[in-house]
Structure 1
Amino acid sequence: MSLPHSRVQHWRRLSSVLLLLVLLMVSLSAPALAEESRLPEAPIYVDGQPIKTKYIMRDGHLMVPALFLKATGTRVDWNSQYRSVVFRLGKTLFALPVGKKYTDDYVPETGKWKRDTLSTASMETKDGIFVPLLDVVKKLGMEVTYNPQLKRTYIRTGTTRLPALIYSGNTKEKLVALTFDDGPDGHYTPQILDILKEKGVPATFFVMGRQVEYFPEMMKRIVNEGHALGNHTMTHPDLRGVMTSNVIGEVRATQQVIEKTVGRRPDLFRPPYGALTRSDRLILHEMGFRVVMWSVDTLDWRGMSAEDILSIVHRDISPGGIILQHNLLTTPGLLDGTVEALPQIIDQLHAKGYKFVTVQTLLDHSR
């Protein structure tokens, strides 16, 4: 049975209109989604230091990622049960439920929670949870100001002096420490250990807990041949983007794996990518760690040649220097320059009067 010609024409016209509406909706929504994933960025100055962050302007209020507050020294966590971001600084503790225009503030004197209002609700985006900066900062007891001429936002935390980051040993003696990150592995680590053994030189290995689990015998060899250890987290995350409880979990899990494997718990820590926040520094200090960075970055992770690595070392070395290299196979051949350069680094710095020591020994000689 066929429909009358007029009815067929009617359905065709209706179908065409519906198709145009669908295409229009797609064309309008696609740019909106693209814009959401390309949020603007700007520096916010925390105690004079510019911290670059994404932001959203909502009803005249500056919204920033909740994790940005780690830059102020605040602990930031997520409560999945109540879908809330939890902020803690000293005795101040409060939670911001996502999508709600209020906070739940803990009152230590009563042991109960008290509800307070927000100027605008927190919001969830593809880039994380965003919170109203002014409200949160004021609750933390900090000062926030805006300079309209410079178009800059300033936060004054009023927090105490931060634990120092160690970039080199404070010594006039010609001491130098070789350090290797990200291992152990079964490819580059044994080659490096062979060279160090042949040259009679100690080094410090900042190990990942995951790699220690994969290569426990290589880890034992590092220790048995007289080298020192440092904690480099379990899975190598950028700590700036990690909730506080997970930062603690990464570090503790690595300590447990190291102790289980070789019976030691190092007190040295190096953050992945050399990146960490004020909050992370305070937590690591509370956990008893000394945070070790470097003064000579060989950039070997870029696949540098032995010649380029040697050039960097000779350019940047000084008494008390800490040399950064890596010992994890990620891309075939990427760290071949590291292995090729190592015996030359040792021989050439020896010729300049340098003595190779572990980071611990270097710090013991520092004044």
Structure 2
Amino acid sequence: MKKDHPLTRRRALIAGAAVLGAAGAAGTARFLTAEPATKPVRSLPPVSGPQARRALRPSAYRLEPMAGYGPPRHTPVRTVVRHEPFLRMSGRGRTMVLTFDDGPDPHYTPSILRTLRKYDVRAMFFVCGEMALENKGLLGEMADDGHIVGNHTWTHPLLTKLSRSAIHSEIERTCEVIDDAYGEPPVWFRAPYGAWNRATFQIGAELGMEPLAWTVDSLDWTTPGTGTITDRVESGAAPGVVILSHDAGGDRSQTVRALRDYLPQLLDSGYHITVPRRKFT
């Protein structure tokens, strides 16, 4: 029998200030439902935007959810099978999303959570099942702090090289451990290496998840230096962008330090760091 999970202040509903969607300007992402992707999705070059280091007057605004903490009143619509992942989000004002892949890692993830907690900011963590299984307590912290936990497969394989049954196993097993540790099943999925195919989109939708990629890649996994990571995030800052970083998979000390540098700069420059919210009928 599935055990009951205590209702924390954010576990029942992870609310955000915007829903992932289309950006109207040329060259930006849209609702991606036109044609199937024929090759793996690659991260886009940094989007031009205001330099966050040119700080405006400090703002007390951090994140104001659009919804309360209670459970959703309606059943989610059946997940549509997409042909491409979402790359950006739409919303009012200068909203951005921070995402972290490959964890949770017992050494680096807690530091990232502490920094996010200090500034009362929510983020998305795309976790690998084998890491989540060994660090369930960190998923509980993410739930309590209002972060969104997404599915990043069990072992981080190149899904386009696997059979359909193997893809299903990688994704479904991770859904189960997230449901157990986080308190609810994931509703977002990210393919390792940004490599998607038809089976990946279909299986993700069957399991109730929407596909999310990214707009700006910090390339922190190359360990280019704290300053370089900070510069890439700040130079790519713009309304609607989704930032990709990592909290596991190697030495992520530079990522931890960079977050401490750029997060207060972005907030004081007027950016709203938020999380997406699924639409309900």
Shorter-chain TM-score range: 0.5 to 0.7
Asked if the contact 1:297–1:325 (Cα under 8 Å) also holds between the matched residues in 2, the reply is yes
Aligned-residue offset at 1:172: 4.7
Number of the residue aligned with 1:355? 272
The question of whether the paired residues in 2 share the 8 Å contact of 1:178 and 1:356 is answered with yes
* 1:312-331 pair list within 5 angstroms: 312-330=232-250
* Per-residue deviation, 1:304: 2.2
* Shift in Å, 1:198: 1.1
Sort the Cα spacing of 1:226 and 1:278 in 2 relative to 1 into closer, same or farther, 3 A. Answer: same
Q: 2:105 aligns with which of 178, 185, 209?
A: 185
Pair 1:292-2:212 in alignment: yes
| Structure 2 counterpart of 1:343, from 260, 268, 272 | 260
The residue number in structure 2 matching 1:209 is 129
* 1:187 partner amino acid: H
SS across alignment from 2:125: strand
**Mapping of 1:188-267 within 5 angstroms?**
188-267=108-187
Give 1:278 deviation, angstroms. 2.7
For residues 123-155 of structure 1, the C-alpha deviation after alignment (integer angstroms, 9 at most, x for no partner) is xxxxxxxxxxxxxxxxxxxxxxxxxxxxxxxxx
Rounded to whole Å, the distance in 1 between the matches of 2:217 and 2:206 is 28
The equivalent of 2:96 in structure 1 is 176
Unmatched 5+ residue regions in structure 1? 1-46, 53-160
Amino acid at match of 1:348: Q
How many Å separate the matches in 2 of 1:348 and 1:211?
31
Structure 2: distance between partners of 1:237 and 1:244: 13
Aligned-partner residue type, residue 258 of structure 1: I
Q: Which has the larger radius of gyration?
A: 1
Distance 1:217 1:49 in 2: 37
Structure 2 SS opposite 1:304: coil
* In 1, Cα distance between equivalents of 2:265 and 2:200: 37
Counterpart of 2:71 in structure 1 is: none
Of residues 229, 238, 243, the one that matches 1:309 is 229
Alignment identity in percent? 34
The 5 Å alignment of 1:88-103 reads: none
Indicate the structure with greater strand content. Answer: 1
> What one-letter code is carried by the residue in structure 2 that aligns with 1:287?
L
1:183 CA drift (Å): 0.7
Q: CA separation in 1, counterparts of 2:182 and 2:82?
A: 32
Give the Å deviation of 1:346.
Answer: 1.2
Question: In structure 1, which of residues 163, 167, 183 is the aligned counterpart of residue 83 of structure 2?
Answer: 163
Aligned to 2:11: none
Instruction: Report Cα offsets for 1:298-349 as digits up to 9, x if no partner.
Output: 000111212111211122221111111111153xxx3221111102221111
Distance 1:268 1:48 in 2: 19
Report whether the alignment pairs 1:268 with 2:185.
Answer: no
Cα separation, 1, equivalents of 2:38 and 2:273? 37
CA RMSD of aligned residues (A): 2.1
Higher RCO (CA 8 Å, separation ≥ 6 residues): 2
Instruction: Return the letter of the residue paired with 1:312.
Output: R
CA distance in 1, matches of 2:264, 2:231: 14
CA distance in 1, matches of 2:36, 2:201: 17
Offset at residue 163 of structure 1 (A): 3.4
Q: Secondary structure at the match of 1:359?
A: coil
The separation in 2 between residues aligned to 1:329 and 1:50, in whole angstroms, is: 28
Q: Residue 225 of structure 1 aligns to which amino acid in structure 2?
A: D
- SS of the equivalent of 2:113 reads helix
Which region of structure 1 is more displaced relative to structure 2, 274-283 or 239-248?
A: 274-283
1:279 Cα deviation after fit: 2.9
- 8 Å Cα contact 1:233/1:254 also seen in 2: yes
Amino acid at match of 1:335: R
8 A Cα contact 1:177 1:358, kept in partner: yes
Question: 3-state DSSP class of the match of 1:285?
Answer: helix
More helix by share: 1
